[in-house]
Amino acid sequence: SRLSIADPIRTNDIMRKYKLRAKKSLGQNFLTNEKVLDDIVDASGLQADEIAIEIGPGIGALTEKLAQVAEKVYAFEIDDTLIPILKDTLSYYDNIEVFNEDILKVDLDQFVIDHHLEGKTIKVVANLPYYITTPIMLNLIKSDYPFQTLVLMMQKEVAERVTAKPGHREYGSLTIAVQTRMTARIDRIVGAKSFIPRPKVDSAVAVLDRIPADKNDIDDPQYFHKLIRSSFAHKRKSLMNNLLNWLGRTDDNREKIKSVFEKCDIAENARGEQVSIEQFKKLAVELKKEI
Ligand code: SAM
């Protein structure tokens, strides 16, 4: 029987056969822990009639696991030296397509149309290149095509910010950008030993599930975005001070903000990190009315 690609023996064989050296600049750390891979696939809940999109297949360790459960796997890999290797390691599977592309330059909405995937449940599952975690994640979240579930391995510190609750140090603009559209939780922590080569940081698998559109009720997203950016511009300053920096430091504005805070049940000396997303939504509506 074949060894999984993720088996350390097989991974080392593949690397030796192709004289492959992991490129740090592309965030290449190959997973060699099958339990972790199985947990990632379980967390995605992928079904036989669903589509998986993978970002950065590497030598195919996660790709083959996805192909074993999904109808079809589309994988985007920027490193052209990996393309012939993937052709070899994944030759057993007929439901995988690999594209030699930079995921940040792919128009995924257009991709969905071109591949007739509208109406399909599409889940994105990836062991991300950590240097571009945030732009990749935000693109997926903001995409017009509502990717249902994102299971993304990332640096542990970033996962903690993405999944933070109000009142915690990690809670900030990234938390809110994600949690206005997705529920977010950490499925598991992954130590450096699970990779070849070992990264310098711990990792975590974050699971993001799309919040239904009708529950995602921000009426002026641009204004909301500006409010959030301003609220966390100086993390150690009070929310009041951050808002005065944004709106203009006048006595009139101070009084107006005070009364809006009262309506939203926000303490006068609160900091942004203590304010829930629901409160920020209300704050946006009331502030826009007042100022
Ligand atoms: N999926 C493999 C695994 O779990 O073993 C490899 C994961 S490795 C952390 C990240 C992968 O993303 C590498 O294969 C790297 O070449 C690829 N990558 C880096 N930047 C990329 C980009 N902009 N677009 C697509 N893939 C990228």
pTM for the full model?
A: 0.96
209-252 pLDDT, tens digit each: 999 988 888 989 999 999 999 999 998 999 999 999 999 999 99
CA distance 124 to 219: 28
Query: Average pLDDT, stretch 87-105?
Result: 98
* Exposed / middle / buried, residue 206 (Cβ in 10 Å: 0-12, 13-18, 19+): buried
Task: Confirm or deny that 31 is annotated as ligand binding.
Answer: yes
How close is the Cα of 136 to the center of ligand 1, in Å? 12
Task: Confirm or deny that 269 is annotated as ligand binding.
Answer: no
Give the tokens for residue 81: 């030296």
Cβ(77) to ligand 1 under 6 A? yes
CA distance 141 to 148: 9
Alpha helices (H) along the chain: 8-17, 34-44, 61-67, 82-89, 108-114, 133-142, 156-162, 173-179, 221-231, 239-247, 251-264, 277-290
Cβ(60) to ligand 1 under 6 A? no
CA distance 223 to 160: 26
Distances (CA, A) of 129 to 86, 87, 119, 137, 258: 17, 21, 29, 11, 44
Cβ(272) to ligand 1 under 6 A? no
What is the ipTM, given to two decimal places? Answer: 0.99
Give the tokens for residue 256: 């107006």
How close is the Cα of 82 to the center of ligand 1, in Å? 10
Task: Confirm or deny that 64 is annotated as ligand binding.
Answer: no
pLDDT of the residue at 1: 67
Task: Confirm or deny that 29 is annotated as ligand binding.
Answer: yes
Cβ(79) to ligand 1 under 6 A? yes
